[in-house]
């Protein structure tokens, strides 16, 4: 009996050692990335959270319901041959759908401040041989894109996480074409209300559509 208990404790000990080593390696990688990319990189909690979610990504991917996502993209005003920007890309489900909608003559820009998310969509786009997706590792308020360059901007379940929402809205106005659409899909009605309040307070965009968790503005 004592031997069995000892073995259990020994297994637990090595599991804890393994987790500690894994965390140490992740923190070192994060610090290297932070040094390389500075403020463009997300916080360490966000970074570690995604790494621990890695085994659950297939479930997350399934739960995103591609048909429903495609409907939201079309509702956002996305059409063939357009230029499209998505901020806060997650695992890239909407991006892949958007790349098909805009076609080979369109352009899809994927912006995120997590190197892991950028790496995931890079791999997924290579596997699917998608050539019209361009990756941007940056904060939401610093796109690096030209003035009046984008037809449709979509932010799915991410606006509430942006640290600098006001400057993000100003930046999106700058890069959006006249008549272009800014669409935001949030996870709760509360976050949707907050997003609408912030955007309307800046007084740059015109509200054209509102559902419970979806809002669309035009420039």
CA angle 115, 167, 187 (to 5 degrees): 65
56 pLDDT band, cuts 50/70/90, is low
pLDDT of residue 43: 63
- Which has the minimum average pLDDT: 3-12, 159-168, 183-192? 3-12
Kindly state the DSSP code that residue 106 receives in the 8-state scheme: S
User: pLDDT of 79-110, one tens digit each?
Assistant: 999 999 999 887 788 899 999 999 999 999 99
Residues 6+ positions from 89 with CB-CB distance below 8 Å? 95, 110, 111, 112, 117, 118, 121
CB burial of residue 29 (10 Å; 0-12, 13-18, 19+):
middle
68 pLDDT band, cuts 50/70/90, is confident
- Range 99-104 contact pairs with CB under 8 angstroms and sequence separation of 24 or more: 99/125, 99/130, 99/132, 99/133, 101/70, 101/73, 101/74, 102/78, 102/132, 103/132, 104/131, 104/132
Q: Do residues 153 and 172 lie in contact, with contact meaning Cβ atoms separated by under 8 Å?
A: yes
Q: Do residues 92 and 112 lie in contact, with contact meaning Cβ atoms separated by under 8 Å?
A: no
- Mean pLDDT, residues 40-58: 62
Round the average pLDDT of the chain to a whole number and report it.
84
Residue bearing the bigger pLDDT, 74 or 92? 74
H helix intervals, the chain: 2-37, 44-52, 57-63, 66-75, 93-102, 115-127, 165-175, 189-202
In the predicted structure, residue 8 carries a pLDDT above the cut 60:
no
Closest CA to 208 of 172, 189, 183: 183
Coil, strand or helix: which one is 99? helix
Q: Do residues 88 and 161 lie in contact, with contact meaning Cβ atoms separated by under 8 Å?
A: yes
pLDDT of residue 186: 92
Kindly state the DSSP code that residue 89 receives in the 8-state scheme: -
Q: Per the structure block, which two tokens stand in for 219?
A: 């420039």
Coil, strand or helix: which one is 215? strand
Pairing mode of beta strands 107-112, 83-87: parallel
């Amino acid at each position: 009996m004592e031997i069995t208990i000892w073995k259990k404790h020994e297994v637990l000990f090595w599991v804890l050692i393994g987790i500690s080593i894994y965390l140490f390696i992740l923190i070192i990688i994060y610090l290297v990335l932070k040094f390389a990319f500075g403020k463009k990189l997300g916080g360490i909690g966000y970074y570690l959270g995604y790494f621990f979610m890695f085994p659950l990504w297939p479930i997350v991917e399934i739960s995103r319901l591609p048909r429903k996502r495609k409907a939201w993209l079309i509702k956002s005003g996305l059409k063939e041959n357009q230029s499209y920007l998505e901020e806060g890309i997650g695992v890239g489900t909407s991006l892949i759908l958007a790349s098909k909608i805009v076609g080979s003559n369109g352009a899809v820009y994927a912006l995120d401040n997590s190197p892991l998310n950028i790496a995931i969509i890079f791999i997924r786009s290579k596997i699917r041989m998608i050539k019209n997706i361009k990756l941007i590792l940056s904060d939401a308020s610093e796109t690096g894109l030209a003035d009046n360059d984008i037809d449709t901007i979509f932010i799915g379940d991410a606006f509430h996480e942006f640290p600098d929402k006001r400057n993000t809205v100003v930046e999106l106005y700058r890069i959006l074409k006249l008549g272009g659409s800014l669409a935001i899909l949030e996870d709760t009605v509360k976050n949707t209300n907050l997003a609408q309040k912030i955007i309307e307070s800046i007084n740059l965009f015109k509200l054209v559509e509102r559902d419970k968790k979806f809002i669309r503005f035009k420039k």
